[in-house]
Amino acid sequence: MKPIIGYVRVSTEEQAETQALDQQKHRLLKAGAERLYCDIESGRNLDREQLEKVLDLVIRREVSAVYATRWDRISRNAQLYEEIKKIFRDSGVKLQLLDQGEVDLTTASGELNSDLQVLFAVHESRMLRERINKGFEYRRSREVAWIRPPWGCIIVDEKYELDHLPLLYCLLIHRPNNYLALADEPDDSEQLIWLSRAKIAREFFDYFLQVRKPTKLLRYLQDNYDLQKNQDLTFPALKNFPTSRRGIQQWLQNPVFQGHTAYQKFKKNGGVKTPDEWDIRRNTHPDHCLISEEEAKEIQAILAANRKQFGQLDATFFLTGHIFCQTCKSKCGLKRAGGGHAYYGCQHSATVCRNRKCVRIIKIEEAIINKLVQRVREIHQLPQEAMKSSKLVELERQYEALDQIPGSDFNPVLKDAKTKLFKEIEIERSQTDNIATQMLCHPSAKKINFWYSLTQEEREIFYNQLLERVVLLDGEVTEVLLKV
Ligand SMILES: [Zn+2]
Three-state DSSP class for 386?
helix
Tell me how far apart the alpha carbons of residues 15 and 151 are, in angstroms, rounded to a whole number: 44
Calculate how far, in angstroms, residue 318's C-alpha sits from the geometric centre of ligand 1. Answer: 20
Q: Which residue has the higher pLDDT, 201 or 169?
A: 201
Which element (helix H / strand E) includes 469? Answer: strand 467-473
In-domain check, residue 206: yes
158 and 301 fall within a common domain: yes
Asked if residues 9 and 74 have their Cβ atoms less than 8 Å apart, the reply is: yes
The span from the CA of 292 to the CA of 280, in Å, is: 16
Asked if the structure places residue 400 within a domain, the reply is no
- Between CA 246 and CA 312 the distance in angstroms is 11
Q: Are residues 29 and 177 in the same domain?
A: no
Looking at the structure, tell me whether residues 94 and 191 fall in a common domain: no
Statement: residue 158 has pLDDT above 70: yes
pLDDT surpasses 50 at 325: yes
**Shared-domain flag, residues 168 and 106:** no
Do residues 259 and 216 share a domain? yes
Distance 34 CA to ligand 1 centre (A): 63
Query: Residues 355, 326: contact at Cβ < 8 Å?
Result: yes
Domain boundary among 265, 293, 310: 310
> Within this chain, do residues 69 and 215 fall inside the same structural domain, yes or no?
no
* Any domain includes 443: no
> Do 115 and 213 share a domain, yes or no?
no
Q: Per-residue pLDDT averaged across 25-48, rounded?
A: 79
* pLDDT band per the 50, 70, 90 thresholds, residue 172: very low
Q: Is residue 422 part of a domain?
A: no
Q: Are residues 301 and 216 in the same domain?
A: yes
Angle at 468 between CA 457 and CA 461, to 5 degrees: 15
Q: State whether 134 and 197 are in the same domain.
A: no
CA of 353 to the centre of ligand 1 (A): 5
C-alpha to C-alpha distance for 471 and 364, rounded to whole angstroms? 9
Strand, coil or helix: what is 107?
coil
| Segment 217-224 mean pLDDT | 81
- Report the pLDDT value the prediction gives residue 315, as an integer from 0 to 100: 52
Rounded distance from Cα 329 to ligand 1 centre (Å): 6
Q: From 232, 231, 263, select the one nearest 247 (Cα to Cα).
A: 231
Measure CA of the first residue to CA of the last residue in the chain; give whole Å: 49
Residue 196: Cβ-neighbour burial (10 angstroms; 0-12, 13-18, 19+): middle
Task: Show the domain range for 84.
Answer: 4-138
Residue 71, CB half-sphere, CA atoms under 13 Å: how many? 23
Backbone φ, ψ for residue 310 (5° rounding): -105, -5
pLDDT at 111 exceeding the cut of 70: no
Kindly state whether residues 85 and 31 are assigned to the same domain: yes
Q: How confident is the model at residue 155 (pLDDT cuts 50, 70, 90)?
A: confident
Ligand 1: centre distance to CA 328 (Å):
4
Q: Which of 11, 42, 408, 453 is catalytic?
A: 11
Maximum C-alpha span of the chain: 98
Is 11 known to be catalytic? yes
Assign 3-class secondary structure to 220-242.
Answer: HHHHHHCCCCCHHHCCHHHCCCC
Helix (H, G, I), strand (E, B) or coil at 66: strand
Lowest mean pLDDT among 78-92, 223-237, 251-265: 223-237
Tell me: pLDDT of 11 over 80.
no
Q: Residue 291: pLDDT band by 50, 70, 90 thresholds?
A: very high
